[in-house]
Amino acid sequence: MKFPDFSYARPATISEAIKLLSGNDDARPLAGGQSLLPMMALRMASPGLLVDLGLIEELAVIADGDATLRIGAMVTHDTTARSEAVARRTPLLRQALHHVAHQAVRNRGTLGGSLANADGSAEMPVVAVALDAVMTLQGPDGVRRIRADEFFQGHYTTAIGEGELLTCIDFPDSARSWAFEEVSRRPGDFALAMVAAGLQIANGKCLNASLVIGGVSDRPIRSESAAAVLDGRTLDRAVATEAAQIALDGVRVRSDIHADARFRTELAKNLVVRALLRAGGAND
Ligand SMILES: Cc1cc2nc3c(=O)[nH]c(=O)nc-3n(C[C@H](O)[C@H](O)[C@H](O)COP(=O)(O)OP(=O)(O)OC[C@H]3O[C@@H](n4cnc5c(N)ncnc54)[C@H](O)[C@@H]3O)c2cc1C
């Protein structure tokens, strides 16, 4: 299908991009185009102006800083997956990227585009919430920073305001050992369900656990109560199964053409168990 008509701008700086986006409801940032362009072709989106961020060099930098690993919004999935700093400091991000689409999509798709797109079945939002990432937004009224668990507000809905750009994402170092588990219909498809589990083991006991589930709802779900039940326990299959039950309790799991709610719930529980056992160093 042909694209609807649109105008196109390719600014070289963040401030130029913000100027183009501000006060124009019809303008949309264009990152890798791997979600926005198909949506336009399908007439699910028809922006009058595409503001291509591809020339803005400062958005495409990975900064291996003292306090955090900062990834620019325009860093591609492929560059992120190949980064030595990412492998060292945020191995969970690298694990999850193996599940994102296919190489051709990863060559163009970006971290910022994936987070701003906020698909409820996408991997990067789950990782951002699990790792307590902080998003930097820049707009006509200046710069603000927002935590990942406040950034995602629903399927395709985020805290990005009018005229604002997501410029970079800060990942603080994590002392936890992490595991990411996902099931999709085919390799590279969006997830039916996925889980990021992180924990520490001290004297054989589990502490500081963190559990985030994706693909079952319109945004990543962090389960504080499931994490709490693990505290001070010896991690085994029975304990992980108890945590999985609690994690999915009361969650309104969605049904769609790919899987109904019951199937997704059971899938997610199994993934919680597998991810917890892997994070704890036990074989499943
Ligand atoms: C065949 C196929 C399979 C895929 N499979 C998966 C998968 O399994 N898992 C997965 O997670 N993704 C998958 N994707 C999507 C892919 O990961 C995209 O890269 C990602 O969703 C969007 O990134 P992008 O850079 O292409 O953004 P774009 O498509 O350019 O933009 C997406 C949205 O974000 C906005 N936006 C982009 N950058 C910014 C910014 N800096 N600030 C504010 N708003 C911004 C745009 O205006 C647009 O609304 C798949 C895509 C395809 C085509």
Beta bridge partners of 27: 49
The per-residue pLDDT for 55 is: 98
Q: Is 86 in the pocket of ligand 1 (CB under 6 A)?
A: no
Is residue 263 within 8 A of residue 185, CB to CB? The reply is: no
Q: What is the pLDDT of residue 284?
A: 55
Assign domain 57-172 one CATH number from 3.30.1050.10, 3.30.1330.10, 3.30.230.70, 3.30.465.10.
3.30.465.10
The pLDDT value recorded for residue 4 is 86
**Alpha carbons within 13 A on the beta-carbon side of 207:** 7
Q: 122: Cβ below 6 Å to ligand 1? A: yes
- Does ligand 1 come within 6 angstroms of the Cβ of 117? yes
Taking phi over 0 as left and psi of -120 to 50 as alpha, with beta for the rest, 128 belongs to: alpha
Ligand 1 proximity of 247 Cβ (cutoff 6 Å): no
* Average pLDDT across the chain, whole number: 96
Distance 117 CA to ligand 1 centre (A): 6
Write down the pTM of the prediction: 0.97
CATH: 3.30.390.50, 1.20.210.10, 3.20.20.70, 3.40.50.300. Which one for 177-279? 3.30.390.50
Phi then psi for residue 131, to 5 deg, are: -90, 10
Q: Token pair of 136, please? A: 């930097």
Residue (of 208, 198, 188, 171) closest to 280 by Cα position: 198
Whether 168 lines ligand 1, by a CB cut-off of 6 Å, is: no
Q: For ligand 1, what atom is nearest to the CA of residue 99? A: 8
Supply the pLDDT for residue 188: 87
What's the CA-to-centroid distance between 199 and ligand 1, angstroms? 30
Cross-sheet strand order for the sheet of 27-30: 7-9, 49-52, 27-30
The pLDDT, as a whole number, for residue 207 is: 95
Asked if the domains 7-52 and 57-172 are classified in one and the same CATH topology, the answer is no
C-alpha 276/C-alpha 178 separation (Å) is 8
pLDDT along the chain (284 residues), means of 10: 90 98 95 97 94 98 95 98 98 97 97 98 98 98 98 97 97 97 93 97 96 97 96 97 97 94 97 97 68
Q: Does domain 7-52 have CATH number 3.30.43.10?
A: yes
Could you tell me where the DSSP H helices lie in 98-236? 103-108, 111-117, 123-130, 148-151, 224-230
Q: Is 169 helix (H, G, I), strand (E, B) or coil?
A: strand
Pocket test for ligand 1, best of 10, 25, 103, 117 (most atoms within 8 A of CB): 117
Q: Which residues pair with 205 in a beta bridge?
A: 202
Residue ranges of domains in the chain: 7-52, 57-172, 177-279
Which pLDDT value is given to residue 23? 87
| Residue 152: predicted pLDDT | 98
